[in-house]
Amino acid sequence: MCGWPRGASAPCGPTAARRRTHVEYLIRHYTLDEGALEIEYIEEFFGEFARRKTTAEITARLADREHLIVMAVAALPDDPGTLVPVAYKVCHELFAAESDPRLADLAAQLEDVVAFENRRILYSWIGGTRIDWRGQGQFRALTEEQEAWAVATGFDEVIVKTKNRHYEMRATLANLHFNVVKYVQNPIEILESKVFLSKQLGPHVLDLHRSARTRLEDGRR
């Protein structure tokens, strides 16, 4: 039984994956300015985030480095003519030497498990799917879009960080074939312990992709 929180039937696992084969996911790539505004908007719909990202924070982190902001959009059930962002994902390049203290700390924590030398490392920073759209393959579609872009852009490995408390995300990352490369225990609260996961990138990753994706014109809703 999968850990799906809502509804009687669990929308995960191979049966769910088979059921979704006919779905076409609509993906938009965003410029930094527009993407930062959209992220602030979409994060309003997440109860999980204790502290939401601001446009200033997003812009400051992404402005001078390779990055990708992608969102899946879908029609509102009561207004099929209106497309709204239902899931999003933001990733950016990470270097062994970073000047920003948060990123420097991240790179330092990864030092013993990630080879930075002569390799391009991508950090999958933030993302999620709005509650009403979960379990429909939106996050898989975005992850596959991100991976296709990452391979085409020359990245060698993608890293993601989560916490013990994020059970849904951990289960999702396992289904998306991310491997745990490091665990940093929080001495006070085990739910706050950090889990670092990684996926080696290359054409082999694209062979496993299975979501039908259409890229819409870039920009806002």
Ligand X SMILES: CC(C)(COP(=O)(O)OP(=O)(O)OC[C@H]1O[C@@H](n2cnc3c(N)ncnc32)[C@H](O)[C@@H]1OP(=O)(O)O)[C@@H](O)C(=O)NCCC(=O)NCCS
Residues found near ligand X in the complex (CB under 6 A): 2-4, 12-13, 16-17, 48, 87, 128-129, 134-140, 162, 166, 168-169, 171-172, 175
Q: How far is the CB of 134 from ligand X (least distance, A)?
A: 3
Nearer to ligand X, 35 or 135 (CB): 135
Nearer to ligand X, 10 or 96 (CB): 10
CB atoms within 10 A of CB 162: 19
Instruction: Please report, as a single letter, which amino acid is at residue 165.
Output: R
> 88 and 163 in contact (C-beta within 8 Å)?
no
Q: How far is the CB of 12 from ligand X (least distance, A)?
A: 3
Q: Which residues partner with 194 through β-bridges?
A: 163, 184
Of 139, 136, 137, nearest to 126 (Cα)? Answer: 139
Cα–Cα–Cα angle for 152, 153, 159, rounded to 5 degrees: 105
Nearer to ligand X, 4 or 95 (CB): 4
Nearer to ligand X, 55 or 175 (CB): 175
Instruction: Compute and round to an integer the Cα radius of gyration of the chain.
Output: 17
Q: How far is the CB of 16 from ligand X (least distance, A)?
A: 5
Q: Which helix (H) or strand (E) holds 49?
A: none
Q: How far is the CB of 85 from ligand X (least distance, A)?
A: 12
Q: How far is the CB of 19 from ligand X (least distance, A)?
A: 9
Strands of 17-113, DSSP E:
24-29, 67-76, 79-94
Nearer to ligand X, 17 or 37 (CB): 17
